[in-house]
A and B are shown apart, each in its own frame.
Chain A
Amino acid sequence: MTVLSPQRERGRMARVFVGPTVGMTIRRALFFFMLFLAVVAPWLDDFSAWLPFPIYDPLRPDPFNPVSPPTAEHWFGTDTLGLDVFTRVLMATRVDFTLALIGVALGGGLGCLAGAWAAYRRGWVDMVALRIVEVLQSFPVLLLGLAMFAAFGSLEIFGPVDHGMAVLVLSISMVNFPLYLRQVRSVLLPLTEAEFVQAAKCAGLGAWGIVWHHFIPNARGQILALFPLTCAYAIQIIAGLSFIGLGIEPPNPEWGSMIKAGATLIVQGHWWVSVFPGAFIVLSVYSLTGFSARSETLVGPGGTSA
């Protein structure tokens, strides 16, 4: 059994962000570009004079210019309400990325802790954790999302946070919690008898101390490999739920609801309303999965054993 020390892993992790191949560099650039868009989206309008593309208010329809094909004024055309598709696709990046990241971080974080705790304690804790995982994973993702919206439908419990967004984040968390729990548990299970764990125990470190300082760092490779993949999956789930009308309140921009808005227009030849947000979903998933593939090869099978 090979066990990585945190120091050795840090060197490998640095290489994940260097991008040794062209494809890797492109994906990485794409990811950071989208991340940049997500961060600056709300202020794009303030700097419209300096931007090379025309930017509009994503919520202000132009009722006199609906379903206009792509032009110099509207790079991605307009939708049935006369909303600029280009601006909305950019603004939606923020919504989809942010929700996916928060949802995965929340569910994944809790899943990691629970997985490590289950691996350390074993016994009934492990058994209960696994049963919870099985219950959660027995629901199809969209059904789980629907159930969440049905359950939280009229409960105003999120205060100032947008209700639909909060339920979306919770749904993403529910999907990711079991994934991380299982993964982390399976990696850490063999470590409970490892010498450094025994040594830590002898040194008087408490259970949570061992989990936090010795277990979690040993699962970091798997967590980092899983994170981009699950983020990509989360983006698809958000888009899927929005496509069936759950989550983001209209007319706020979101890729899934934008695809839906244009779905019936495609047969009439108005392809741009759906295709551009769809393309952005593909690009975002592509950029994220690229990260995952790379980090997995770096710190994956050869790095740790499970």
Chain B
Amino acid sequence: MKMLWKRVPSVIAVVAAMAMVAVACGGTETVTVTEEVVVTSIVTEVVTEEVVVTETETVTEEVVVTSIVTEEVVVTEEVVVTETVEVMVDDSEARTLRIAIADDVEQLDPALGSAQLTNLVLKNVYMQPVQYRPGPDVGGFSYADTTSFEGQWIESWDFSDDFRTITLRLRQGLTFPTSGNPVTADDAIYTINRALATGPAGPAWVWGNIGVTSIDQIERVDDRTLIVHNARPSTIVLPLMRDQTMGIMDSVTIQANSTEDDPWGRDWLKQNYAGNGRYVVDTWERGSRMVLKRNPTWTGFQPYFETVELLTVPEAANRLALLQSGDVDIALDLSVQQLATAAGSDGVKVLSVPDRNGINVLLNNQAPPFDNVTLRKAMSYAVDYNAIVNGVLNGQAVPSQGPISVNSRFFDLYNLEDAWIYEHDPDRARQLMAEAGYPDGFEFEMVIRQDIPLDEAVATNLKAQFADLGIDMSIRPVTGAEMFDHLFGLTYGGMAFRGGLLDYVDDPYYQFFLWWDSQDAAINWTGFADARIDEILDETASVVSDPGRREPYREAVTRLVDAAPMLWLANANYTLAMRDDIGGFTLHPDGLLWFATLNRSG
């Protein structure tokens, strides 16, 4: 008993705490007032009080209490006020878009971005020469029209008849909002010059593909006109000009912050902002959040959202929870299971639309065992594509049919389905393994990124599928940086898997030049080389008409599929979980969320 009495204060404290929590969580819609009043007239009382509705939302609530009583009567009256509470939501709140992101933005120099998230921000806060126009609405969203462009910092463009000269007219009246400097042809020339100085990666690669390798090719006609000389005729000139690396920069500001050691102001621009995108960087608290404001100097179509807040929430489960509670409008990078959970939550919708995202496994073509083409083909037959598409990816994908996505407009245009030969056929896989000299199986290692659910799921499923054929695949998770070292250095043992791989431009030339040109490919992560494919690329590089490219590319795709340098497993949907009042989504080929068209119409 004595012990019990000793615990009474603790019990009271706990009960009090629970009561406080209950009070804090309780509703505020119904107010019960018990009071003793002496009233001599009609009393009308207007109470204005501030009620905190959510952590971040403050509204003004007007409560009107009217009570009529007989003269000189003392009443004890219980007035139950259940009036409609008029909630006047602050418009700026509605005009704020909150997005939960997985990681911090790496840096702010458009010429250096690499992570998808950083590219996403750079695309929105810098202004590219052109952007795609949104296509027609197809059930609550639209695809960007990849054949139609609207000028951004250039107003118009003219190609000469031989496509080798491009005249660019700059948009008038643009300024850089943070400095107030006008956007001039000098800024454009500085931006191109700076891009060319970045080396083979980044925008120098992009300008190189347009045919610009020297700043001497850019002629400044007047303050609004530039002429690009000796451009390379190509189907992807305009698609490349919408690249997030092509954002125009405030040359005056950057030069003022450049030093002798750092003539292009790289160090400064990593941390600071000198652009004029549809949104401008307002504040950036490293590691926690970045706030973007609508560009006040843009005179064209105004985006709906005045403010975009990017909140860094590293744990995917927390991003999902924030979305479910309505604290954020969009949660990026959710796993397949979390998307399924989100889809079943109140007030949340999940967009899942066919896209060109490649779920591909890379094979090291330069080292045993996969330097053996027969064995590579055996692996392509060993994969259970259905388990990957409908199991691992929960049906949010379609089976892949080679290097050009089945959701690319060129897949149908060039009839590429004929080139695909693989299906899940363990017997054929065994037969090819025997032919390749591995009748009893073999061992190899697959490198994946650690803590990425998709990578782990794909690797674990493939391990089990290959085990049926006597193949012992071990899985080695590495950091993202180690993964890049392995891929660029071709030091991974047998296979590597690195999530979804997306070509930012939907064009077969882009895919082949990026991946399969044995000399110049920017990301030849398989070490594959084929002289005939190189020839086809050279022959078609400057062909700008589809009829002229159709047959060469059919041949190239057929050769590539037959050589099986990677395992093309699936084309995953683009997925995005958001509150159900968010509308206006347009899917761009680069998969980078474009804020300007989003709205809160639902």
Residues of A within 8 A of B450 (CB): 245
Residues of A within 8 A of B451 (CB): 245
Residues 257-293 of A contacting B (Cβ, < 8 Å): 264-265, 267-268
A67 to B390, CA, bound (A): 15
- Report whether A250 and B464 are in contact in the complex, using a CB–CB cutoff of 8 Å: no
Residues of B within 8 A of A249 (CB): 474-476
- Report whether B456 and A250 are in contact in the complex, using a CB–CB cutoff of 8 Å: yes
Q: How far is the CB of B485 from chain A (nearest CB, A)?
A: 12
- Report whether A245 and B477 are in contact in the complex, using a CB–CB cutoff of 8 Å: yes
Q: A63-B391, A245-B451, A264-B317 are in contact. Are A81 and B475 (CB under 8 A)?
A: no
Q: How far is the CB of B412 from chain A (nearest CB, A)?
A: 29
Residues of B within 8 A of A64 (CB): 387, 390-391
- Report whether B320 and A268 are in contact in the complex, using a CB–CB cutoff of 8 Å: yes
A81 to B387, CA, bound (A): 11
How many A residues face the partner with a CB closer than 8 A?
21
A217 at the interface (CB under 8 A from B): no
Interface string of B424-444 (1 = CB under 8 A from A): 000000000000000000000
Q: A63-B457, A268-B341 are in contact. Are A251 and B475 (CB under 8 A)?
A: yes
A192 at the interface (CB under 8 A from B): no
Q: How far is the CB of A248 from chain B (nearest CB, A)?
A: 11
Residues of B within 8 A of A267 (CB): 317-318, 321
A61 to B475, CA, bound (A): 15
Residues of A within 8 A of B467 (CB): 59-60
- Report whether A265 and B317 are in contact in the complex, using a CB–CB cutoff of 8 Å: yes
A303 at the interface (CB under 8 A from B): no
Residues 28-84 of A contacting B (Cβ, < 8 Å): 57, 59-64, 66-67, 80-83
Residues of B within 8 A of A83 (CB): 460
Residues 91-136 of B contacting A (Cβ, < 8 Å): none
How many B residues face the partner with a CB closer than 8 A?
30
A65 to B338, CA, bound (A): 15
Q: How far is the CB of B168 from chain A (nearest CB, A)?
A: 49
A61 to B465, CA, bound (A): 10
Residues of A within 8 A of B391 (CB): 62-64, 82
A60 to B477, CA, bound (A): 18
- Report whether A250 and B477 are in contact in the complex, using a CB–CB cutoff of 8 Å: yes
A-B contact count (CB 8 A): 61
Q: A64-B390, A64-B391, A82-B391 are in contact. Are A250 and B460 (CB under 8 A)?
A: yes
A233 to B457, CA, bound (A): 31
A158 to B461, CA, bound (A): 28
- Report whether B453 and A250 are in contact in the complex, using a CB–CB cutoff of 8 Å: no
B197 at the interface (CB under 8 A from A): no
Interface string of B314-356 (1 = CB under 8 A from A): 0111101100000000000001011001000000000000000
Q: How far is the CB of B599 from chain A (nearest CB, A)?
A: 29
Residues 171-213 of A contacting B (Cβ, < 8 Å): none
A59 to B315, CA, bound (A): 26
- Report whether B317 and A66 are in contact in the complex, using a CB–CB cutoff of 8 Å: no
Q: How far is the CB of A64 from chain B (nearest CB, A)?
A: 5
Interface string of B374-392 (1 = CB under 8 A from A): 0000000000000110111
Interface string of B451-484 (1 = CB under 8 A from A): 1010011011101100100000011110000000
A15 to B384, CA, bound (A): 57
- Report whether B464 and A60 are in contact in the complex, using a CB–CB cutoff of 8 Å: yes
Q: How far is the CB of B586 from chain A (nearest CB, A)?
A: 30
- Nearest CB to that of B390 among chain A residues? A64
Q: Which of B335, B387, B463 contacts A63 (CB 8 A)?
A: B387
Q: Which of B316, B392, B456, B457 contacts A264 (CB 8 A)?
A: B316
Residues of A within 8 A of B456 (CB): 81, 250-251
Q: Which of A60, A80, A245 contacts B453 (CB 8 A)?
A: A80
Residues of A within 8 A of B475 (CB): 249-251
- Report whether B320 and A81 are in contact in the complex, using a CB–CB cutoff of 8 Å: no
- Nearest CB to that of A245 among chain B residues? B450
A64 to B384, CA, bound (A): 13
Q: How far is the CB of B260 from chain A (nearest CB, A)?
A: 39
- Report whether B315 and A264 are in contact in the complex, using a CB–CB cutoff of 8 Å: yes
Residues of B within 8 A of A245 (CB): 450-451, 477
Residues 394-422 of B contacting A (Cβ, < 8 Å): none
Q: Which of B316, B318, B461, B474 contacts A81 (CB 8 A)?
A: B461
- Report whether B387 and A67 are in contact in the complex, using a CB–CB cutoff of 8 Å: no
A67 to B321, CA, bound (A): 18
Residues of B within 8 A of A264 (CB): 315-317
Residues of A within 8 A of B453 (CB): 80
Q: How far is the CB of A83 from chain B (nearest CB, A)?
A: 8
- Nearest CB to that of A59 among chain B residues? B464
Q: How far is the CB of B544 from chain A (nearest CB, A)?
A: 43
Q: How far is the CB of B271 from chain A (nearest CB, A)?
A: 30
- Report whether B390 and A81 are in contact in the complex, using a CB–CB cutoff of 8 Å: no
- Report whether A59 and B320 are in contact in the complex, using a CB–CB cutoff of 8 Å: no
- Report whether A268 and B463 are in contact in the complex, using a CB–CB cutoff of 8 Å: no
Q: How far is the CB of A170 from chain B (nearest CB, A)?
A: 19
- Report whether B337 and A66 are in contact in the complex, using a CB–CB cutoff of 8 Å: yes
Q: How far is the CB of A293 from chain B (nearest CB, A)?
A: 26
A35 to B38, CA, bound (A): 81
Residues of B within 8 A of A80 (CB): 335, 337, 453, 457
Q: How far is the CB of B392 from chain A (nearest CB, A)?
A: 5
- Nearest CB to that of A265 among chain B residues? B317
A50 to B341, CA, bound (A): 38
A81 to B448, CA, bound (A): 16
Residues of A within 8 A of B337 (CB): 66-67, 80, 265
- Nearest CB to that of A261 among chain B residues? B456
Residues of B within 8 A of A61 (CB): 457, 460-461, 464
A281 to B390, CA, bound (A): 35
Residues of B within 8 A of A82 (CB): 391
Q: How far is the CB of A93 from chain B (nearest CB, A)?
A: 21
- Nearest CB to that of B450 among chain A residues? A245
Q: How far is the CB of A257 from chain B (nearest CB, A)?
A: 11
A59 to B450, CA, bound (A): 18
A67 to B318, CA, bound (A): 18
A249 to B478, CA, bound (A): 11
Q: How far is the CB of B462 from chain A (nearest CB, A)?
A: 10
A249 to B446, CA, bound (A): 12
Q: A250-B475, A268-B341 are in contact. Are A81 and B317 (CB under 8 A)?
A: no
Residues of B within 8 A of A63 (CB): 387-388, 390-392, 457, 461
- Nearest CB to that of B345 among chain A residues? A268
Residues of A within 8 A of B476 (CB): 249
A57 to B337, CA, bound (A): 22
- Nearest CB to that of A80 among chain B residues? B337
- Nearest CB to that of A67 among chain B residues? B337
- Nearest CB to that of B335 among chain A residues? A80
Please list 12 pairs of residues, one from A and one from B, whose beta carbons are closer than 8 Å in the complex, sorted by A's number. A60-B464, A61-B460, A63-B390, A63-B391, A64-B387, A64-B391, A83-B460, A249-B476, A251-B456, A251-B460, A267-B321, A268-B317
Q: Which residues of A contact B (CB under 8 A)?
A: 57, 59-64, 66-67, 80-83, 245, 249-251, 264-265, 267-268
Q: 8 new A-B pairs (CB below 8 Å) besides A60-B467, A63-B388?
A: A59-B460, A59-B464, A63-B387, A249-B476, A250-B475, A251-B456, A264-B317, A267-B317
**4 nearest A-B residue pairs (beta carbon):** A63-B391, A264-B317, A60-B464, A251-B460
